[in-house]
Structure 1
Amino acid sequence: LRPVRRSFYDPSSAPGHGWIWEWENDAGSWTTYDTEVGIAIQAAHEWQQPWLDLAPLGFCYLIDFQSMTQINHQTQRRRRIQCRSDLAYPLVSGPLPKLTKSSFGTVGVSAGGGLNGACETVLGSRGSAKKSQPACSAAHRYGTVKGTHCIWVSTESILHSNHVVMSRTNTPFFTAFHLNRVCAFRVPTVPVKNLSGSSPVHPALAGITGILMSAAGLPVCLTRPPKLVLHPPTVSKSDIKPIPGLGHCCRKTTKKQTRKGKTPEEVVKQYLQKVRGPSDEDCNICMEPLGGPSGYKGPNVADLSRSESVGRLAQCGHQYHLQCLVAMYLNGIKDGSLQCPTCKTIYGVKTGNQPPGKMEYHIIPYSLPGHPDCKTIRIIYNIPPGIQGPEHPNPGKPFTARGFPRHCYLPDSEKGRKVLRLLIVAWDRRLVFSVGTSSTTGETDTVIWNEVHHKTEFGSNLTGHGYPDPGHLDNVLDELKAQGITEEDGQL
């Protein structure tokens, strides 16, 4: 069993009028925004705002009303949005029950100097109540605490199913968009620092997703919703320092250099041991018995003698048809290395198909959340769009490069510098990025991360790509090891 609750909104809001806001997903169908977000979008649209930033709500999107699109702050991906009319939600009729006195006393608000500080509100049941009003009148009341205006909105919870019994809590209603009117009342505005600079925001409008209720009369603490902080404060050139022991602060990669010499068969055979009596198992590449011929029938693989049809990889011991291994090698990067398809053991030096680009790294004089005792290593990757080469999925076809330059962050600690040294090796081996299909947008033939996670949020962790994250550095070391890069490779 899971508890359920019914939420109450002002009759003049989007649900009250039956307006529903939706965004277009990858399948081409429409997905409805959460109710609170839809209310924010509708209110901004009614007041003819050109755009609405959803970052204060915890979403890294910008709503552009002129083009009716949703824009991702990080990738600049645009999705269509629409507003449609549906049946309006019914109004609550009848008088509201009187409130009972609570041992927690009255509601207190401490807003300091507005929203620039942490706005905390302790909620509890009021000690007394005036005669109740119909819900459709919204029963709003102004309150002023320490010179800060707030709007109090009565909210209700359904406690019983047979008889409608409601508990009413006077709760501050917070939103996170800029409006000039709330329920026909006007509230003075104060400047609030946000991601796009300083803009006027109502003190009563600070985080719609932060609405908390206390139907049981328990005290609840409201805090300002966390803010997405992708980048550090402005850093002057004089404050940017090189990383000791790493020399140059910039690395460039060019197009893949063609390797000459060994044939594919020769490359594969150097990692194999001959098998006279193959096991009764199936080949994990073609799924045919190892005792029989290879199931691969494709081109570019010469017929091999039966005595050499099966080989055992020297380090891990897994057995495959030689023709299958050669075919697998020809379908890869063809860089002289081989990776066991069963256990992922790498033979030789693995390289990738990362397009040409530039990697910069330096120290900036700020600390990351969770790492207050050290400064920050900033990595800047920049890859331009181009034409796919023979090692890419669609040679000769253009590829896109979204979201570049990409800024990533590491703590300037001993382990952070170790990770950086190995990332430099991964960059030189063209393993940081690849060309393929984006798992987030579904776009094909675009530059994507190559299974080595980076942190792209500097001062927050709203998207999961920021700090604090105690296990991040160890996870990156494991991911680099899976690419064949170990600590021995980091001795630059």
Structure 2
Amino acid sequence: MLLASAVVVWEWLNEHGRWRPYSPAVCHHIEAVIRSDPRCGSVVLGQADSRLSPYIIELHSMHQFRQDTGTLRPVRRSFYDLTSAPGQGWLWEWENDSGSWTPYDTEVGIAIQAARDRQQPWLDLAPLGFCYLIDFESMTQINGQTQRCRRIQRRSDLAYPLVSGPLPKSHHAWALPASAITSLGQPCACQQCMLVLGVKAGTTQVGTAHTLGRRPPQMKPPSPKLSSYPVPGSSYSLTLPRPPSLSRSFFPQRTVPTVPVKNLNGSSPVHPALAGITGILMSAAGLPVCLTRPPKLVLHPPPVSKSDIKPVPGLGHCCRKTTKKQARKGKTPEEVVKRYLQKVRNLPEEDCTICMEPLVGPSGYKGPGVSGIFRAESVGRLAQCGHQYHLQCLVAMYNNGNKDGSLQCPTCKTIYGVKTGNQPPGKMEYHVIPHSLPGHPDCKTIRIIYNIPPGIQGPEHPNPGKPFTARGFPRHCYLPDSEKGRKVLRLLLVAWDRRLIFSVGTSSTTGESDTVIWNEVHHKTEFGSNLTGHGYPDPGHLDNVLEELRAQGITEEECLPRD
């Protein structure tokens, strides 16, 4: 137990392995719910922010659950120093491509604020896993590889909730400014997400050893020819050419760490032993460093002639299209809910996990669309899993989703009926090319090409009638042409037909809203390498995709033909 005062920040894990903070208002709401009932099982986020109305935090499993899509994401409760940015109510943001502002991760915001408090002219984010430089004079973020500049801003917000007294070690991630944060939530097990987390842990541990207890030196601004990238907290600074990107580097656990650098044969005045930011940090700590040339990024296969492109064995057609959602007639919300329910004779002494009101009392839902359908006191039991809810709450949850005739239990995620999504119209092509993926030398490759054009959002999307963008299409994805790879493809075709591969929402990468995004089924978009975590080899990828499809209600037993 730690006895201290701190602020609490609740965070959720996105698909790229980054912990993203909830707003101070939402964190205050979560803490208030826990204080009012320490035994409560879940928190309805829509009560604090209407934009989060589909989301519930399940406190026992520490997951965020989206009711309309069934998406699960890990959450964690982290503690930060009172003098840090969250403790002082400062929020650091960067301007995305659409002109709106996206907040930095909590640990990045803390590091930026700490550097500003020390009156540093700039801050290198490489020790935190990002190849960016923060320039406080111009209030810009500079990409160390492309030199692209984005505006940044600091704005005052509500301070995060304060706690004091004993803090349990098993339920916190203590963080002083510029310190690393212990990951408590369990992200998905795919190599894509674990790689990003591995980089974060590897870089922040080194950076922390040099930041605590030292004041950074005064540095000169960068010249047009050579960019000086100071290491925060180090005892010296060097003038270097553009530093190698650390955002996707991976450090294997070896006796002598291997550090990729890009100027072993260049004309840099710096000795190769100090050629990269990581080399600087590790050499200053007295650690041995083995320098290697970085592998090349191979996103696409070699050119393939039309005659070499073959259909996937067992799948005659090579193209699948989806059109606009067809309305299902004759199924009112109450008819759908009744279809999957059983009568309840004796009500249990427990809460409805949707409205958080006792089942023996009326539903706590007061919104539109349920009055006159069922009595507020009516309770039903889902037939397969047995979990019980107010009928009005189930109708409200159904109305908040795709209204496709299916229902998903908020507690155990059991799917009733056939779940469909809100994927916009588009085309999915698939074929075999005569090249092998890393880790699969004995088979050829299945190439999938997704193409979705921009359009207008429909009634099932977040902002009906408003345009949506479609960035990065056509998107090329790859599977091994093996028995299991073909099985995954057949199930992906089912997911495509059910409109579950993509969705319309806010990109966690760029912060752009009203755009086409992936929908919780991981794809490999890097053909001949795995520098970004989106490639091969990845021994567990196919099994992970099968599990992700199962969570969407798509299984081999239900969807594939039987002999």
Q: Which of the five TM-score ranges fits, normalised by the shorter chain?
A: 0.5 to 0.7
Instruction: Give the Å deviation of 1:27.
Output: 3.1
Matched residue, 1:126: none
Instruction: Give the Å deviation of 1:489.
Output: 3.9
Matched residue, 1:478: 547
Distance, in Å, in 1 between the alignment partners of 2:416 and 2:456 is 29
Instruction: Give the Å deviation of 1:240.
Output: 1.0
TM-score w.r.t. the length of structure 1 is 0.61
Matched, 1:245 2:321: no
| Greater Cα radius of gyration, structure 1 or 2 | 1
2:516 partner SS: strand
Q: Deviations over 1:351-378 (max 9, x none)?
A: 0000001101111111111111111111
Q: Deviations over 1:83-124 (max 9, x none)?
A: xxx9437xxxxxxxxxxxxxxxxxxxxxxxxxxxxxxxxxxx
The residue identity in structure 1 corresponding to 2:219 is: A
Matched residue, 1:275: 344
Instruction: Give the Å deviation of 1:441.
Output: 1.7
Matched residue, 1:396: 465
Cα gap change, 1:307 to 1:285, in 2 (>3 Å):
closer
Cα gap change, 1:424 to 1:174, in 2 (>3 Å):
closer
Matched residue, 1:102: none
Distance, in Å, in 1 between the alignment partners of 2:319 and 2:368 is 42
Cα gap change, 1:424 to 1:35, in 2 (>3 Å):
closer
Matched residue, 2:478: 409
Residues 361, 379 of structure 1: 8 Å contact kept: yes
Residues 297, 529 of structure 2: 8 Å contact kept: yes
Matched residue, 2:557: 488
Gaps of 5+ in 2: 1-93, 97-101, 113-121, 134-141, 152-216, 221-235, 240-258
TM-score w.r.t. the length of structure 2 is 0.54
The residue identity in structure 1 corresponding to 2:103 is: A
Matched, 1:295 2:364: yes
Correspondences of 1:273-352 after superposition (within 5 Å)? 273-304=342-373, 306=375, 309-352=378-421
Instruction: Give the Å deviation of 1:245.
Output: 1.1
Matched residue, 2:447: 378
Matched, 1:88 2:204: no
Residues 437, 444 of structure 1: 8 Å contact kept: yes
Q: Deviations over 1:393-430 (max 9, x none)?
A: 11111111111111111111100000000000000000
Q: Deviations over 1:140-180 (max 9, x none)?
A: xxxxxxxxxxxxxxxxxxxxxxxxxxxxxxxx99644997x
Residues 375, 412 of structure 1: 8 Å contact kept: yes
Residues 418, 490 of structure 1: 8 Å contact kept: no
Instruction: Give the Å deviation of 1:214.
Output: 7.6
Matched residue, 1:222: 291
2:430 partner SS: strand
2:103 partner SS: coil
Residues 360, 381 of structure 1: 8 Å contact kept: yes
Instruction: Give the Å deviation of 1:289.
Output: 0.6
Q: Deviations over 1:426-470 (max 9, x none)?
A: 000000001111122221111111110111111111121111111
Instruction: Give the Å deviation of 1:231.
Output: 1.1
Distance, in Å, in 1 between the alignment partners of 2:378 and 2:409 is 17
Correspondences of 1:56-455 after superposition (within 5 Å)? 62-63=146-147, 68=149, 87-88=218-219, 175-176=262-263, 182-183=268-269, 208=276, 211=279, 221-304=290-373, 306=375, 309-455=378-524
Gaps of 5+ in 1: 1-22, 43-51, 55-60, 71-85, 90-134, 139-171, 185-203
Q: Deviations over 1:28-55 (max 9, x none)?
A: 8878445799xx999xxxxxxxxx997x
1:480 partner SS: helix
The residue identity in structure 2 corresponding to 1:251 is: R
Distance, in Å, in 2 between the alignment partners of 1:374 and 1:481 is 26
Residues 361, 377 of structure 1: 8 Å contact kept: yes
Percent identical among aligned pairs is: 76
Cα gap change, 1:24 to 1:264, in 2 (>3 Å):
closer
Instruction: Give the Å deviation of 1:491.
Output: 2.1
The residue identity in structure 2 corresponding to 1:88 is: M
1:403 partner SS: coil
The residue identity in structure 1 corresponding to 2:311 is: P
Cα gap change, 1:380 to 1:53, in 2 (>3 Å):
farther
Q: What is the Cα-based RMSD across aligned positions, in Å?
A: 3.9
Instruction: Give the Å deviation of 1:296.
Output: 1.0
The residue identity in structure 1 corresponding to 2:525 is: T
Instruction: Give the Å deviation of 1:232.
Output: 1.1
Cα gap change, 1:36 to 1:353, in 2 (>3 Å):
closer
Matching residue within 71, 87, 103 for 1:27: 103
The residue identity in structure 2 corresponding to 1:347 is: Y
Residues 273, 279 of structure 2: 8 Å contact kept: no
Distance, in Å, in 2 between the alignment partners of 1:87 and 1:220 is 27
Q: Which moved more, 1:421-430 or 1:232-241?
A: 232-241
Instruction: Give the Å deviation of 1:305.
Output: 5.2
Cα gap change, 1:311 to 1:32, in 2 (>3 Å):
same
Distance, in Å, in 2 between the alignment partners of 1:407 and 1:207 is 35
Cα gap change, 1:217 to 1:296, in 2 (>3 Å):
closer
1:251 partner SS: strand
Distance, in Å, in 2 between the alignment partners of 1:173 and 1:417 is 36
Instruction: Give the Å deviation of 1:216.
Output: 12
Cα gap change, 1:176 to 1:260, in 2 (>3 Å):
farther
Matched residue, 1:142: none
Matched, 1:463 2:532: yes
Instruction: Give the Å deviation of 1:236.
Output: 1.3
Paired residues, what number? 339
Cα gap change, 1:209 to 1:238, in 2 (>3 Å):
farther
The residue identity in structure 1 corresponding to 2:444 is: K
Distance, in Å, in 2 between the alignment partners of 1:370 and 1:253 is 33
Distance, in Å, in 2 between the alignment partners of 1:294 and 1:53 is 52
